[in-house]
Amino acid sequence: MTSANSAIPARPDPVWDEVSALPIQGDDSALIPMSLTPLPIRVYPAYAKLGIPGAIPECYVRPEVHRRLLMAAHSLPAGVSLVVLDAWRPWRVQQYLFETLFEAIGTQHPEYDEAALLTHTREFVSLPSRDPQAPSPHLTGGAVDVTLCDQEGRLLEMGTGFDEAITASHTDHFERHAPQDERQRLAHKNRRLLHHVMLTAGFTNLPSEWWHYDFGDQLWAWYRGEAAALYGPAEVETLESRWRKQLCTPH
């Protein structure tokens, strides 16, 4: 186990064609809500709080992801909690985020062609996909967006806000660019701590986002060199889907 003070290593950006080509075993474990989880995990569904169309006021994950998040949270120093900002994400939310960022980048950089726009958008938002063989990571219940807070619920300094689509959001930014002030020094320390506890719990990190971690999806499998991913696309059970199952089951 490496020290929480160890540098965050540089990692390559995903080669998405290789990621989406990995087979999926198809673990069918049901999604479970994070909001019932005790401290030291806090749940703050960021997209619902921001009023993003289609966002849900809960963070759902696979059971094994839940267990590993607890492992990470319990290894944090006293007075520090893990905050889950997003987990399973409806496809329509993924589509909204992708299209919104794509348009914003295009407005800011009119010189970019379609390929460049796609590349820069995918740096921070993956393609919206419900393909059973290549789903968006957050559609699987294996991807989570997390940060840290103190015992009074105040978010710790991470250098950028959640979902800021700038190079300073790259996980190893402060390894490559020495912190210039106390705020950046705190962010450097906190990113290392978050990275350490999450990787020790078995997650992988998307290098362009300090907040994004994966377990069991294709992105996780690609970074770990696994032969296959565990999780394909998942859906949250609704009252309608429950009734349909009940009515179709012989009594």
What amino acid positions are annotated as catalytic residues?
Answer: 209
138 is in an annotated binding site: yes
Residue 123 burial by Cβ neighbours in a 10 Å radius (0-12, 13-18, 19+): buried
145 is in an annotated binding site: yes
In order, the DSSP letters of 157-170 are P-SS-TT--SGGGS
173 is in an annotated binding site: no
Residue 247: CB partners within 8 Å, gap ≥ 6? Answer: none
Side-chain-facing half-sphere of 72: CA atoms under 13 Å: 31
- Measure the CA–CA gap between 21 and 46, rounded to whole angstroms: 31
- Measure the CA–CA gap between 196 and 203, rounded to whole angstroms: 10
Binding-site residues for Zn(2+), in ranges, read: 138, 145, 212
Binding-site residues, in ranges, read: 138, 145, 212
